[in-house]
Amino acid sequence: MLKQISSLFLIFIFSLCAYAQTEKYNAPIKWERYKVSDKDVSVLFPKLPILIQRTNICSEEETNQYAAYASEIVYGMTIVSRTSQKVPDYCNPKKKFDEGNFDSRLKEIRALFADFDETKFTQNAFEVIKLDSKTTSQVYWLINDFKNKRWFEFWITGTDKDKVEIKNFVESININKNAQGVEIGKGSSRTLGDEGVTDTTIVATQEKNGNQTERKEEVQNIRIVLKPSAKYTDASRQASLQGTVRLRITFLASGGIGTVSPLTTLPYGLTEQAIAAAMKIVFIPAKRNGKTYSTVKIVDYSFSLY
């Protein structure tokens, strides 16, 4: 009787652990309106997005990039605005934030696509430039709001560009000072996968003439969409520390980032910064015979002062 109770207790504990792990790495797809109040914008996302921030002081650019995964598609919003930071003297050349920044970005996106369709339309009093790649699963919608010293990029990367969710995502764009929705704030601390997705790793077989024969596999590797840079800590800068943190990362079949384990470390908080950046990697999962599966990869984060 005692053995039975012990066994049931262990099963219960393992079930709790499995449930907690699922909850930690995944979330249900629940389309909600999210907003960035200080940028006067809101849009539909399938779950709380991650936030990647970076600044190019020499070009007076401040970039906030948001992304969320759902059903093999990444939905993104990028806001580029003029930074309030003073341009330092070491910048050479110095470039003031103007419409030339937007024009340069537009050329950059065009250069990414070997072949694409470009169209323009008006939505909510803003002119929208749509760039639809013919060779990749990417679409960009750009809105230039130069009178407010900023522009917006809404984009998707994924397997099916004709999904109704994509149409709803784009049509939900709302740029005004009274934008409603759930405040994104700092966003999710990690890329969240889809709740309820099972990991399929078994090679499928089929019967032929009464015998079991291995089916030819069709494999697609994971596709990294965004890889945030790891930030230096003040202590590491003062110590002029340089080096590499090597991480073992589980890219889940659900589209979420699973466990992140350091194989090599650095002091002064750099290992923690590398792990925090890795948790926000956004990707399309690997697929085998049409089914997504989890994979483990070694990823390096290098820190250099020069």
CA distance 208 to 206: 6
CB 7 within 8 A of CB 151: no
Confidence at residue 5, expressed as pLDDT on a 0 to 100 scale: 42
Give the pLDDT score at 161. Answer: 85
CATH code for the domain defined by 30-183 = 3.40.1000
User: Do 193-205+218-303 and 30-183 fall under one CATH topology?
Assistant: no
Q: Which amino acid is at 180?
A: Q
CATH T-level topology, domain 193-205+218-303 = TolA/TonB C-terminal domain (3.30.2420)
Q: Which residues of the chain have pLDDT under 50?
A: 1-23, 202-213
Q: Kindly report the length of the chain.
A: 306
pLDDT in tens, 43-92: 999 999 999 999 998 889 999 999 999 999 999 999 999 998 888 888 88
Residue-range domain boundaries for the chain: 30-183, 193-205+218-303
DSSP string across 87-145? PPTT-SS----SHHHHHHHHHHHHHH-SSEEEEEEEETTEEEEEEEESSSSEEEEEEEE
Q: What is the pLDDT of residue 216?
A: 64
pTM of the predicted structure, to 2 decimals: 0.86
What is the C-alpha to C-alpha distance for residues 271 and 242, in angstroms, rounded to an integer?
12
**Separate counts of helices (H) and strands (E) for the chain:** 5, 23
Indicate the average pLDDT of the chain.
Answer: 87
**What is the pLDDT, as a whole number, of residue 215?**
55
Q: What is the pLDDT of residue 170?
A: 96
pLDDT of amino acid 200: 62
> Residue 49 has what pLDDT?
98
